């Protein structure tokens, strides 16, 4: 087969395998525009997603990687208070030692959960009981976490409702204190 004949044969095969483009020039241009627009939309979606991911990361971790919380997340997050109960921990007016909570007055937000982690080093049960505030936490020996919620604003006196050291039970700063809810 001559080279001229081979070229004609190749051209004939291509015509059979690929039908002629019967679209008008404006139809071809429209299809190309559609492809370009689609590619642009995909590119914008990728850029938008990247910006959203970066913005979310900055909102969560700040510019320098430190955790940040929104005001609403802070308002919902439980407050945490740690304290302990120790027998003979606190001196009385004459130097004798009495049972006491390490912290007897604390402030809370109304309707916001407070997680109290209490290390009761005594071998008996104690409590934080403020009936007017709707608070009754039975403090078992050992380290435990309790949740309390005060439903109304005010300053509420709490007591240890379980008999223990008579002096401590009768005095604020030992087995009595105040919960201030705002």
51 shares its domain with 122 = no
CATH code of residue 106: 2.60.40.420
Helix, strand, or coil here: 167? helix
130 CB-near residues (< 8 Å, 6+ apart): 136, 156, 157, 158, 159, 179
* Secondary structure string (H, E, C) spanning 113-156: CEEEEEEECCCCCEEEEEHHHCEEEEECCEEEEEEECCCCCEEE
Is 10 in contact with 18 (CB distance < 8 Å)?
A: no
Range of the domain at 51: 3-61
Chain CA centroid to CA 74, Å? 8
Question: What value does the mean pLDDT take over residues 60-81?
Answer: 60
Between 115 and 8, name the one with better pLDDT. Answer: 115
Whole-prediction pTM: 0.58
Domain termination residue (choose one: 38, 61, 84): 61
In a domain, 70, yes or no: no
56 shares its domain with 88 = no
Q: Tell me what the pLDDT averaged over the chain comes to.
A: 81
28, pLDDT greater than 80? no
Number of domains in the chain: 2
106, pLDDT greater than 80? yes
- What DSSP line would sit under 62-120, residue for residue? -TTS-----HHHHHHSPEEEEEEEEEEEEE-TTS-EEEEES--EEEE-TT--EEEEEEE
44 shares its domain with 89 = no
118, pLDDT greater than 90? yes
Confidence category of residue 71, pLDDT binned at 50, 70, 90:
low
Q: Could you tell me whether strands 114-120 and 135-139 are parallel, antiparallel, or unpaired per DSSP bridges?
A: unpaired
User: How far is 42 from 174, CA to CA, in rounded Å?
Assistant: 67
45, pLDDT greater than 90? no
């Amino acid at each position: 087969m001559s080279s001229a004949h081979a070229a004609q044969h190749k051209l004939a095969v291509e015509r059979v395998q690929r039908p002629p483009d019967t679209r008008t020039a404006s139809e071809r241009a429209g299809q190309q525009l559609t492809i370009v627009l689609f590619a642009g939309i995909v590119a914008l979606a990728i850029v938008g997603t990247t910006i959203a991911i970066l913005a979310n990361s900055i909102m969560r971790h700040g510019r320098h990687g430190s955790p940040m919380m929104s005001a609403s997340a802070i308002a919902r997050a439980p407050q945490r208070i740690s304290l302990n109960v120790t027998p003979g921990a606190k001196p009385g007016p004459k130097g004798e030692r009495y049972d006491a909570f390490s912290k007897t007055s604390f402030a809370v937000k109304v309707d916001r959960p407070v997680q109290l982690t209490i290390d009761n080093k005594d071998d008996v049960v104690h409590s934080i009981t403020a009936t007017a505030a709707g608070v009754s936490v039975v403090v078992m020996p050992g380290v435990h976490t309790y949740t309390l919620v005060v439903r109304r604003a005010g300053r509420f006196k709490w007591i240890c409702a379980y008999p223990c050291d008579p002096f401590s039970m009768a005095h604020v700063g030992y087995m009595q204190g105040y919960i201030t809810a705002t």
